[in-house]
Structure 1
Amino acid sequence: MSRFVPVDRQTDYLLPPSVEDWLPEGHLARFVVEVIEQMDLSELSGAYAGRGMAAHHPEVLLGLLVYGYATG
């Protein structure tokens, strides 16, 4: 069982219907997600001590960090 909050980018919402509908094809955020999904983040995941509430997965946090740096 994972110690992280599950990552589900396909989840439908009431408004808007899907996160996929927010971003046009070729958007930088889509590129960042694709690249990070191909990375081996086992070192980051393994370093998590598992204390307190469920944490967000390092894949999500790294994506936010990279996208933030890329967009200034």
Structure 2
Amino acid sequence: MEIVDQLDLSEAVNAYASTGSRPYHPAMLVVSLLYGYATGVFFSRKLAQARHDSIDFRYICANTHPDHRTIADFRKRFLDELAGLFTQVLLIAQAKLGTVSLGGTKVKASASKRKALSWEHANRLEEQLKGEV
């Protein structure tokens, strides 16, 4: 959640009118969307339900419960900005974590050779994921 404080949310914050009822803060919607993506909850209705059922979502959303329409509208309205924010999150995480390395010890495993990724296939998947972001 603290990572959202480092993101540039000015476009989303400035896009709301100063009149009318108070909207949900964009930071809360962004952090809940990012957390949902990280935990495999992608759909607006599932995200809205998770805010009622899941302690972690309730904590992230400060126990507020925007409905699925609010979530879907926010995602649709700020889709390009969300892609940029997600990239910012990855860059911040990379800067904080730096290089992560593991030992080179080889251990015999019972993994299926058909399900293991080749280096080339892993690179293709990486390019595909970058294209989706």
**Structure with more contact order per residue of length (Cα contacts < 8 Å, sep ≥ 6):** 1
Relative to total residues, which structure has the larger helix share, 1 or 2? Answer: 2
Larger radius of gyration: 2
- TM-score norm. by structure 2 comes to 0.28
